Amino acid sequence: MSKEINKELLEIIKALTSKIEKLEETVYASDGILRKAGFVAVNSPTPKIGVVDNNKTVGEMAWGDIHKMVSNMGGQ
């Protein structure tokens, strides 16, 4: 039974690998149809993470401090 499961898993992995390769070919195709349609961003901005409140982690912060941090970041 273990060999049957291993064979099935191997077939699933092969099928998924094939689908991923086809998807990569589509995304990076020379005509770039997905990029032109706006579905894929090639050069997206990298998020910048800064230091918050003297190296405190969120777990060490009071709820009031968390609410202030979120409102400063543009949250509600």
pLDDT given at position 1 = 63
* Helices (H), ranges, the chain: 2-27, 33-37, 63-72
**Are the C-beta atoms of residues 53 and 65 closer than 8 Å to each other?**
yes
pLDDT tens digits along 54-71: 556 777 778 888 888 777
Find the domain containing 32 and state its range.
Answer: 1-44
pLDDT given at position 13 = 92
Pair 26, 63 in one domain: no
Pair 38, 73 in one domain: no
Pair 51, 68 in one domain: yes
Which parts of the chain register pLDDT below 70? 1, 30-56, 75-76
Pair 6, 18 in one domain: yes
State how far the Cα of 18 lies from the Cα of 27, in Å rounded to an integer. 14
Provide the token pair at 38: 């706006």
Pair 37, 50 in one domain: no
Pair 60, 27 in one domain: no
pTM for this predicted structure = 0.40
Pair 23, 38 in one domain: yes
Pair 2, 37 in one domain: yes
Pair 31, 16 in one domain: yes
